[in-house]
Structure 1
Amino acid sequence: MARELCSHCGFSTKTCLCDSINIINNRLKIIILRHPSEEKITKNTAHLLNLGLANCQIIAGESEQDFVSLQTLPKSSTAVLYPSHDAWCLDEQSSEVNIFKQTLTHLIVIDGTWKKAFKMRQLTPCLQQFKTVSFKQLPQNQYLIRKAPREDSLSTLEAVAHSLHLIEQLDVTPLYKLLAALVDKQTKHMPEDVRARYL
């Protein structure tokens, strides 16, 4: 039997997050490239960003042909959030980085496992036309219910929240509260032995 879904947040009525949504009016347009395999995962956090940000778009796909709309983005004021060797660190205090942050209009984020994100980047050559940005220091990972193979892993929500804090100096507490609400609702419905693996 299909689960009954909330018409607004899209989660099941048992794990509805509507009471925890407080929309942030971000200037920077967040564009999330979501791997199709992430779409049905209830623990996927890109959907939370779409609920909690005024300026956010999700595009599903795996390669260049799925992301043709990226070709129209302004090259000089668009960045890709990805930890490449030549990435500019958003938390670096230099005049060059600060000026760049002020001019940013679009931030592209790849939503998928490390392996899938790497492959999506390789299959989407147009991403190479934009500067890459990342962080020197990562905030504490608060998303405990989805395990990642790397220690420097953040959920998509955490990575975007940290970026918005560094670029726009926004108070991103509402996003972290939304994430905490998801963790709380998801763990409540886990069997005791499964919950113990995460908390």
Structure 2
Amino acid sequence: MRTYCTHCHFPQSTCLCDDISIIDSPLSVIVLQHKKESSHAKNTVRLVKLAIPTTQVYVGKAAEDFVSVKDNVLAGQCGVVYPSAQSTPLENFSQGGVGRPLSQLIFIDGSWRQAYAIWQANRWLHSLPQFHLNNAPESHYIIRHVNLDHSLSTLEAVSHAVACVAGIDTSPLLQLQSAFQARWRSPQQHRRK
């Protein structure tokens, strides 16, 4: 029977605790995660939660699944990272610009089809400022890569967005993703240590 780490919740043979560096994000990271994505072993939201422990993850699809999120959105201070027809480049957003600075960012986690289903079922998201990532670095998430231009893991999207808006170093997220991938590809090597 496989034993799991009580902190990172990965199997002991692939424990990531030594690779976790906590990021003190001034932004509240909120993830709306498709229910099918939540149980996927290669999902990177688990990693985001380890590095940014204040991350809030809500699982579902329909509007009723995310009522508590809708009720806790700070008016004028929350944006959603989703490439809609009305979205603007997040890289162009200025915290010192007109209006209140962002204090919350919502991300939708799932395949493109799953994310679209959440977007369509939750019309309340459409009233929030919408952003897309215009100049994000190329994805390095290779164990579950989608062959679409500008596809990023949710972890990579969070890393880039938080760095853009808050101006903080989010490289520990990317380093954690790299460690996760190294263990995923060859867990036998880590068992020998």
TM-score, normalised to structure 1, is 0.88
Aligned residues: 187
Q: Given residue 82 of structure 2, which amino acid in structure 1 is its aligned partner?
A: Y
One-letter amino acid matched to 2:184: Q
1:178 alignment partner, SS class: helix
Aligned ranges 1:99-138 → 2 under 5 Å: 99=97, 103-138=101-136
Equivalent position SS for 2:30: strand
Q: 1:181 to 1:128 in 2, by over 3 A?
A: same
Q: Deviations over 1:109-150 (max 9, x none)?
A: 000000000011101111112111112222121101102141
The CA distance in 1 between the partners of 2:109 and 2:96, in whole Å, is 26
Matches for 1:35-184 after TM superposition, within 5 Å = 35-72=34-71, 73-92=73-92, 99=97, 103-184=101-182
Where 2:158 maps in the other structure, the secondary structure is helix
Task: Write the distance in 1 (CA, Å) between the matches of 2:99 and 2:75.
Answer: 14
- Give the Å deviation of 1:159: 0.2
Distance in structure 1 (CA, Å) of the matches to 2:126 and 2:83: 13
Q: CA 1:146/1:102 → structure 2, altered by over 3 Å: closer, same or farther?
A: farther
Matched residue SS, 1:48:
helix
Please give the per-residue CA displacement for 1:93-119, whole angstroms capped at 9, x wherever unaligned. Answer: x76x75269710111100000000001
Question: Could you report, residue by residue, the CA deviation over 1:19-63 in whole angstroms, capped at 9, with x for unpaired residues?
Answer: 000100001000001111112222100010100014211111111
Question: Does the 8 Å CA contact 1:70/1:126 hold for their aligned counterparts?
Answer: no
Query: Identical aligned pairs, as a percentage?
Result: 34
TM, length-normalised to structure 2: 0.90
Q: Secondary structure at the match of 1:127?
A: helix
Distance in 2 separating the partners of 1:27 and 1:124: 26
Name the CA shift for 1:43/1:100 in 2 (closer, same or farther; >3 Å).
farther
Question: In structure 1, what is the Cα distance between the partners aligned to 2:105 and 2:37?
Answer: 20
Partner residue in 1 for 2:191: none
Aligned-CA RMSD value: 1.8
Q: Is the 8 A contact 2:78 2:106 kept in 1?
A: yes
Q: What corresponds to 2:33 in structure 1?
A: 34
SS class of match (1:179): helix
Q: Which residues of structure 2 form unaligned runs of 5+?
A: 189-193
Give the gaps of 5 or more residues in structure 1.
191-199
Q: What SS is found at the alignment partner of 2:97?
A: helix
CA distance in 2, matches of 1:80, 1:167: 12
SS at match of 2:40: coil
- Give the letter for the 1:109 counterpart: F
CA distance in 2, matches of 1:84, 1:78: 16
